[in-house]
Structure 1
């Protein structure tokens, strides 16, 4: 299996790693600062302390210059969608973790970012756990793979591929590799 793909490391838990250009403070800023985070994932305020609130304002159709139309199952996310959460760990600039989906009427999942300096690069380890089912695992794996690809492209000064086309292709690939 391609090392760049997310892997299942426990029931309803995926892990994905990326090597990003550093320094670590730059990558941390792209995880935590709204204006930088909106370029690859979602805007929104973040109280950087344990128990602090997190808001993500997703506009996936605006992430790249050629995003296309979302597939029918994601039509509700063609415009803006929001996610709230609560920070469970914050150790700048190495660790950020939060509950994902707080107050949305369903069980929350959990996202953990760990940053490790590797010379001029930074190893990012992302673990998304407590996912409700396989369908969500496929969506999350494809989503993180796509979003982290956009982050890498932004950090390296490249124009990223279209979000929805990439996500649709990757979700289909994950359908074949995630049990």
Structure 2
């Protein structure tokens, strides 16, 4: 991965450790807020940057997220060792569904919340991931959210995202320096 990509990142793009097992990331996206909400809630739009899966607009309902990270960018980049190709799925439960401001659901033993706030013609997206089991997973999750959000920014800006796996691999190494031991 070229150093130009690293230089294009801002310190504010990185996940911030907000508690021993929790991280937060933020991105400014082109609005309006209702448009960004659809990228969080509509399966086909969410599939472009994260994972597919139909969601019910009601707390307590279950749904399945399915990742196809090899299909997020063309080319996908070089998949790191330890990651299998094809689809990976996870069952989740909707915790909060408050359009177009907050979406929260379970993620393994933890949870993820997406908060949207209008900022003029832009939207501040805050992603908070809670209950991360250990530092190794925090590095992987920090790099993962970072790369997924960079892919979302590209899609919402109408630009071509960088190869997903190459970005993730570089970010994983960078997070090893950023996340405290």
| TM-score for both structures, normalised by structure 1 | 0.93
Aligned partners of 1:97 and 1:116: how far apart in 2?
15
Stretches of structure 2 that go unaligned for 5 or more consecutive residues are 1-9
**What are the superposed Cα offsets for residues 82-121 of structure 1, whole Å, 9 maximum, x if unpaired?**
01100111111100000013xxxxxx12100000000100
Aligned residues of 1:15 and 1:127 also touching (Cα < 8 A): yes
Aligned residues of 1:94 and 1:114 also touching (Cα < 8 A): yes
Aligned to 1:37: 46
Aligned to 1:173: 174
**What are the superposed Cα offsets for residues 110-148 of structure 1, whole Å, 9 maximum, x if unpaired?**
100000000100000110010111111111100000000
Aligned to 1:50: 59
The CA deviation at 1:79 is 1.1
What is the correspondence of 1:13-92 to structure 2 with a 5 Å cutoff? 13-74=22-83, 76=84, 78-92=85-99
> After TM superposition, what 4+ stretches of structure 1 lie above 6 angstroms from structure 2?
none
Aligned partners of 1:139 and 1:116: how far apart in 2?
27
Aligned to 2:144: 143
The CA RMSD measured in Å over matched residues stands at: 1.0
Aligned residues of 1:23 and 1:122 also touching (Cα < 8 A): yes
Aligned to 1:9: 18
Stretches of structure 1 that go unaligned for 5 or more consecutive residues are 102-107
**What are the superposed Cα offsets for residues 43-87 of structure 1, whole Å, 9 maximum, x if unpaired?**
11111211012311100011011112311122x2x2110011001
| TM-score for both structures, normalised by structure 2 | 0.92
Aligned partners of 1:120 and 1:147: how far apart in 2?
22
